[in-house]
Amino acid sequence: MWPMPGGHAEILAGFVRERRERQLNMSFAAVAAAGGPSKPTMVKIEAGKISNPKTTTFDRLDRSLRWASGSAAAAYWQAAEPVRLEDERRGSEPLRLTGGAIEVPLERISGLMEIQADLHAALDGGSEPAVLREVAARLDNEVNLIVGQWISDIMARNRSQGAIHTGLEVVLGESLSAPVASDDPNVEDRLYRRYLAGGRFADGLSADLRQMFERRAEQHRR
């Protein structure tokens, strides 16, 4: 039984804005289409001007914003942080590390074979350390491209409700949080992995990138 009037409209407003705009990137129309409140009601909620909302309003917020049942009501009446469905579910799901395969393009194989030949030639010829470091840097880049492709595949297959499995977030958190330079040859793949991770990792991604990455993720799921 919830307390009588005296809820935290401003606190609910903050949670709703954060979830809709930053975490889910949803328009008011998208919220309504997902079974949420109408645009006028959402505007009122996000302005902190709603008082003593109906139970159906809370239910619609939970459904459209992908919160666990009762989250919106708890935010309004108790100032409690809503429980995201991805947080509730992904921690209990098994981590799927097998069952998928990635295709390594011929150019990647050719690149590795070329580096292998150059490495042996440098070693046999007693090359200077600077030469060996240059070959090692090329090897690092080729390996990172292949490993990155594998990581993207694992992330896509362990993605639920717009976020990755908790175990992967723990392992990859530092890498996902690292800045991405615009001249990084792997910039698109690194940004794609941030999109797959969701939440704070996907902050700053444009709507165009999100749409492109959603199509790419859909291909991964097939």
Q: Where are the domains of the chain?
A: 9-83, 106-221
Mean pLDDT of 57-62: 94
Q: What are phi and psi of 90, to 5 degrees?
A: -70, -25
- Residue 60's closest CA among 41, 77, 79? 41
Segment 112-139, tens digit of pLDDT: 999 999 999 999 988 889 999 999 999 9
| Cα(72)–Cα(66) distance, integer angstroms | 10
Q: Are 162 and 169 in contact (CB under 8 A)?
A: no
How many angstroms from the chain centroid is the CA of residue 16? 19
Contact yes or no for 79/11 (Cβ under 8 A): yes
Three-state secondary structure call for residue 212: helix
Lowest-confidence region among 16-20, 65-69, 74-78, 216-220: 216-220
Contact (Cβ atoms closer than 8 angstroms) between residue 207 and residue 25: yes
- Please give the Cα distance from 134 to 117 (Å, whole number): 14
Please give the Cα distance from 213 to 203 (Å, whole number).
14
Q: What is the pTM of this model?
A: 0.47
127, with CB counted inside 10 A (0-12, 13-18, 19+), is: middle
Q: Could you read off the pLDDT of 178-201 as tens digits, one per residue?
A: 888 888 878 888 899 888 887 778
Whole-number Å distance between alpha carbons of 38 and 49: 15
Half-sphere exposure (CA, 13 Å, Cβ side) for 87?
Answer: 10
The CATH topology of domain 9-83 is: 434 Repressor (Amino-terminal Domain) (1.10.260)
